[in-house]
Structure 1
Amino acid sequence: MTASITNGLLNHGDAPPNYVDRKDVPELMAPPSPTVETIKLALEMAVRAPSIHNTQPWRWRIGDHAIELWADPRRHLVSSDPQQGKLIVSCGAALHHLRVALAVLGWSAAVTQLPDPDEPDHLATVEFAPHQPTQTDIELGAALLQRHTDRRGYRSLEIPAGYLKTISRNAATFGAVVRHVPESLRLRLVRPFQDAVTRHAEDPDYQLELAAWSGQRRTADGVPGSNVPLPHLSDPIPARVFADAVLIDNHVDADAAEWMVVCTPHDDRRSQLRAGETTSALLLEATRLGLSSCLQTEPLGLPELRDDIRSAVLYDCAFPQAMIRLGWVPTDSAPLERTPRRAIDDVIDR
């Protein structure tokens, strides 16, 4: 399957164009660049990245020799994400997805983060160079196409410790740290999650925002009810309650899910962008290993609950930016519908 996916991707994009390498004619020595069609294909893969409430809060600008990533503050969720931290993490995830997409299409990505201090919404500039895809590139490209958020219960089959170490090690190369939450500390996540659900249930602004970004009315963004299971009252760490949940989840056994926290020593915009890339790398590595995943961030939108997690789980050594639940989906689980995405031309500024 990996080979067929890869062939489909590579056939879609052009190989690096030939160019004249004549040192006596400098004007003919422009660096090679991918075609517009290749760039659009890479961006179509990049926007498959997860984002808070599937808001897809990014804009892309295509230049002659680079792609610029911009945050889209018009898609800021004021109640769920008051400090815009999760918006920037979402954009960082799309940036890493773009790296993976370009690599499998034959281009390396040189990323400059926050290139303009006067434009804080200009998050990154990505320049290109020809690149021969490796086997890892191909496998991560396949994982990018396969990954999706699965909020259902997982199997009681434990995840090998080696898998968790591999995921943490490979994801942490992008500037953030991945911390596994062992069973002895997992109870410390329960109260912040439960408190977040209780407080949000009593917050009319949050409920209006949640209703606007989830349910059956969303067609190009937001969280569709068809991918949201009804809440399990027995879950000690509850998931966010979206609108119009209709997904049937018959899994009733206690699962062996593991929890990972993506964290950073600082809490500025650059740290959040790095956390987003690390989150994407974690999710794709987990998918490559056959695991399912669910990104959960609800308590992180409430400063005091985020501080609780920072103290109780991270011992005040780092700021939590994202939390991921990993596990094995039951073998009899039905495939999920694909989460919607906006048309690529709707997120490109030329």
Structure 2
Amino acid sequence: MLTAPLDRTTAQTAISLANRAPSVHNSQPWRWRIGPSSIHLFADAARGLPATDPEGRDLRLSCGAALHHLRVALLATGLATTVHRLPNPAQPEHLATVETHAGIPLAEDLALARAIEVRRSDRRVFSSWPVPEQMLDALITVADHQGAHLTVLDRESHRNAVARLVERAAVQQALTPDLAREIARWTGRTRGAEDGVPAANVPKESEGTVPVRHFAGARQQQNPLGTDESDGTVLTLLSTTHDGPVDQLRAGEALSAVLLTATRFGLATDPVSQPLETPTTLAELRSSVLGGAAAPQILLRLGWAPMSATPVPLTGRRPLADTVDDLDEPVG
């Protein structure tokens, strides 16, 4: 397939949308390089979280989400893509090369691109309105297209197990040296911050099916629910057959695809990574929920925000220029 020329304005526009991808603690751990007919994605180790994410799983998932956002944004401009993941084994921080080709976006492709600006992580409780099965089936399908599997955890035993594992991971992480300092550094930010988690995006009270990770300065008002109404979260788990760096990158792409499709449907979403960040809770999640048959990558809460819910504030992003390097610059 012949590549199509990529002008810098189009590339920068697409990267600006890709930078809206979710990332662990909104750390935005990626960098981009623009070529004549390609865009290159690199992991930014300087923005990694060594206490929270010592093996880089969350970093690669975050970069995978940005990679999928980029593909969606490019297609909306009429550029289809071919992705070469980890193209240089001697350069593991080079996560992907994205070649551009002429393409024709469909209406659903344009809707997916529009969802990038609308999507937010909503850590509050959700309404008890059921999520239609056809929507869940569609989310399973889009995850499958990205090389991952989305499992709906509809058994009460699985939901209770996840809640316990979140709490257990929180205890284990509290005993991890330097983790509290790392959390304090990346959370409790003001609304004007260009990275990190703002205090206005973390609910004061944790009342839902899945406990909310402890962040500094929680100031968000919890969603109001009706009398005798409980959190209507639909809990799902993204997994892959294997668990290497490419699998984690693909899991991030699948996460992006699911989040943007759910946003198109009007659903509220909230990725949950905490119980996958400690070895013991990760192993138990794989055993108790997946029967050891797959590698869990990230949990995702889905549901409907109550009609009276206030909009989730937009989180900050770094200036575009801070995320793009010249193609011929040395790495590091």
TM-score (norm 2): 0.93
CA–CA distance in structure 2, aligned partners of residues 200 and 112 of structure 1 = 35
Deviation of the 1:345 alpha carbon: 0.6
The answer to whether the Cα contact below 8 Å between 2:223 and 2:306 also exists between their aligned partners in 1 is: no
- What is aligned with 1:47? 19
Tell me the equivalent position of 2:114.
142
Please state if 1:261 is matched with 2:271: no
Gaps of 5+ in 1: 1-29
1:84 counterpart (35, 56, 70): 56
Task: Provide, for residues 80-120 of structure 1, a one-character-per-residue CA deviation record: whole Å limited to 9, x for no partner.
Answer: 11210110010000000001000111100111111101001
**8 A contact 2:124–2:208 mirrored in 1:** no
**Residue 104, structure 1, aligned to residue 80, structure 2:** no
Deviation at 1:250, TM superposition (A): 4.2
Which is worse superposed, 252-261 or 91-100? 252-261
Q: How many Å apart are 1:201 and its aligned residue? A: 3.4
Which residue, out of 190, 205, 212, partners 1:231?
205
Letter of the structure 1 residue corresponding to residue 24 of structure 2:
I
Matches within 5 A, 1:59-74: 59-74=31-46
**Residue aligned with 1:94, SS:** helix
CA contact (8 A) 2:286 2:292 kept: yes
Deviations 1:207-239 (A, max 9, x none): 11000001135711000001111132x435201
The residue number in structure 2 matching 1:95 is 67
Which residue is equivalent to 1:210?
A: 183
- Taking only aligned residues, the RMSD between alpha carbons, in angstroms, comes to 1.4
Letter in 1 for 2:215: F
Give the unaligned 5+ runs of structure 2: 327-332
Aligned length: 320
Larger Rg: 1
What does residue 339 of structure 1 align with? 315
Residue 313 of structure 1: SS of its match in structure 2? helix
Q: Take 1:323 and 1:95, find their aligned partners in 2: how far apart are those partners?
A: 19
Letter in 2 for 1:60: W
Superposition TM-score, scaled by structure 1 size:
0.88
How many angstroms apart in 1 are the aligned matches of 2:210 and 2:203? 15
The separation in 1 between residues aligned to 2:178 and 2:241, in whole angstroms, is 31
Residue 287 (structure 1) aligned to one of 243, 248, 263:
263
Match of 1:23 in 2: none
Change (3 A) 1:34 1:310: same
Instruction: Look up the SS of the partner of 1:69 in the other structure.
Output: strand
Instruction: For 2:179 and 2:100, locate their aligned partners in 1 and report how far apart those are by CA, in whole Å.
Output: 41
Looking at structure 2, the residues matched to 141 and 260 of structure 1 have their Cα atoms a distance apart, in angstroms, of: 23
After alignment, is 40-49 or 163-172 more displaced?
163-172
Conserved? CA contact 2:3–2:99, under 8 Å: no
Distance of 2:260 and 2:200 partners within structure 1: 23
